[in-house]
A = this chain, B = another copy of it.
C-alpha cells in the first residue's frame, strides 16, 4: 500500500469515525428530545402516580399485599407474616407488607 493510499485510509477512516459518532450524537439528542416531550406531557404525572399508589393500597388492603421477598425464602416470609399477624392481633388481610428483606 502506498502512502497515498494510506492517506486515503486516514481520510476515510477518520471520516467514517466522525460520521458514525455524529450520527450517534444526533440519535442520542433525538432520543433525549423525545423523552423530554413525554416528561412535559407528564407534568401532572406525579399526581396521577400518587392516585395510582392509593388505588394500589386499596387493592392491597383487600388482598393482603403485593409482597416483595428479598433474599428471603417463602417459608420464612410466611412465618414472619403469621407471627406479626398473631402478635399484633391484626388479621393478615389488614396487614400490609411492602417487602421482607433478609439482612445477611
Q: How many copies does the complex hold?
A: 3
CA–CA, A76 to B82, complex, Å? Answer: 14
CB-CB contacts below 8 Å: A9-47 with B? none
Contacts A75-B80, A80-B75, A104-B71; is A91 near B90 (CB within 8 Å)? yes
- Contact bitstring A91-104, B, C-beta under 8 A = 1, else 0: 11111111111111
Interface centre among A81, A85, A88 (most CB of B within 10 A): A88
Chain B contacts for A67, CB-based, 8 A: 97-100
16 pairs, CB–CB < 8 Å, chain A vs chain B: A63-B65, A63-B95, A64-B94, A64-B97, A66-B99, A67-B97, A69-B102, A73-B76, A74-B77, A74-B100, A78-B83, A81-B88, A82-B83, A84-B92, A87-B92, A103-B103
